A = this chain, B = another copy of it.
Amino acid sequence: MSTRPRLYVPTDLQAGGPVALDENQSKYLFRVMRLNVGDEVRLFNGRDGEWLARVSEILGKSAGLLKAETRLRRQAVLTDLQLLFAPLKKTRTDFVVEKATELGAEVIQPVITEYTQSERVRTDRLTHIAMEAAEQTERLNMPRVMDAVHLIKAIENLPRDRRVYYCDERGDNEGEEWGGDENRARPMADVLAEHGKGSAAILIGPEGGFSPQERQFLRKTEGIYPVSLGPRILRAETAAVAALTLYQAICGDWKDAETGGVSDD
């Protein structure tokens, strides 16, 4: 693969502009990838599209400068999609953030629910994971990783016109395994097809699902829709990936490759 390294930088990008690298990025380019002065790199900052840059100076293997040259891609308008999820064990939380970034979520909001078995959520650590995933996945911006808040608060913070789809794998009959078939949510693909595009959020509960009180709150709030992800019980992180995939394929930027993030200037 001839693909040039691709980095997120906070700097403004314009022709001829110098770009300083942080220590990790310098180590990656100069120690791991062994780039030399004149070699090509791609840069994005979430505002100015994607730029071709060239190494202009190397200062001792852990610092260096690039110079931006030409814009390769315009800043695309991305799908307005958020992920709200209950934190899981450490590696599974990391995984959700990595995958949500690949799948184009714009905001990643950890939410604390009644059955959340959370360790402390480190926003800085998750932001770093999102940055690396954004660099790898060809997207033109970074998702915003928010500090964890309580579920009710997170829902209240959303504008009222943002539709919320939450994965609800249980029926309502408490006597049966997984609540039986009573009042099961409809398949997510059908619910999405009905509502179409527009601002959306996907909400994924913890391994134990939502509490009866939470389900009641979610069900009675306008603009919040329970959805089913099939007849098997998915782990929470699988549900996150599956729900984001369905949203992008049915309502988001997978529908038409030409309007997606790869369109050229």
Interface of A toward B, CB cutoff 8 Å: 1, 3-4, 42, 72, 76, 95, 98-99, 102-104, 136-139, 177-178, 180-181, 184, 186-189, 208-209, 228-235, 238, 241-242, 245-246, 248-250, 252-258, 260-264
Contacts and interface: CB of A to CB of B under 8 A. Distances in A.
B3 A178 contact: yes
Contacts of A255: 187, 189
B232 A178 contact: no
A256 B241 CA distance: 20
Contacts of A248: 230
Contacts of A187: 249, 254-257
A41 B231 CA distance: 20
Contact of A139 (B186, B209, B232, B264): B232
A232 B181 contact: no
A127 B35 CA distance: 42
A132 to B, nearest CB: 11
Contact of A138 (B178, B180, B261): B178
Contacts of A103: 230, 232, 234, 238, 242
Main secondary structure of the interface of A (DSSP, over half): loop
A261 B245 contact: no
A255 B246 CA distance: 13
A230 B263 CA distance: 12
Contact of A177 (B4, B230, B258): B4
Contacts of A102: 232, 234-235, 238
Shortest 3 CB-CB distances between A and B: which pairs? A231-B260, A230-B254, A231-B261
A108 to B, nearest CB: 15
A73 B211 CA distance: 26
A261 B178 CA distance: 13
Nearest to A252: B230
Contacts of A1: 208-209
A241 B245 contact: yes
A139 B102 CA distance: 28
Contacts of A261: 231-232
A250 B99 CA distance: 21
Contacts of A254: 187-189, 228-231
Contacts of A242: 103, 241, 245
B188 A249 contact: yes
Given A95-B95, A138-B231, A232-B261, 14 more contacts: A1-B209, A3-B178, A42-B177, A76-B231, A98-B235, A102-B235, A187-B256, A188-B249, A230-B249, A230-B252, A231-B253, A231-B257, A231-B261, A246-B249
